[in-house]
Amino acid sequence: QVQLVESGGGLVQPGGSLRPSCAASGSIFSIDSMGWYRQAPGKERELVATITNNDSTNYADSVKGRFTISRDNAKMTVYLQMSSLKPEDTAVYYCHAHESLGYSEYNYWGQGTQVTVSS
Segment 22-59, tens digit of pLDDT:
999 998 888 999 999 999 999 999 999 999 999 999 99
- Quick check: 33 and 97 in contact, CB under 8 A? yes
Q: How many CA atoms lie within 13 A of 14 on its CB side?
A: 5
pLDDT in tens, 70-112: 999 888 899 999 999 999 999 999 999 999 888 999 999 999 9
Give the Cα separation of 10 and 3 in Å (integer).
22
Q: 11, 33, 13, 16: which is closest to 81 by C-alpha?
A: 16
Q: Residue 7's CB: how many other CB atoms inside 10 A?
A: 12
Give percent of the chain with pLDDT exceeding 70: 100
Question: Can you give the pLDDT at residue 73?
Answer: 84
d(CA 70, CA 51): 7
- In this structure, are residues 67 and 17 in contact, taking their beta carbons and an 8 Å threshold? no
pLDDT for the residue numbered 16: 98
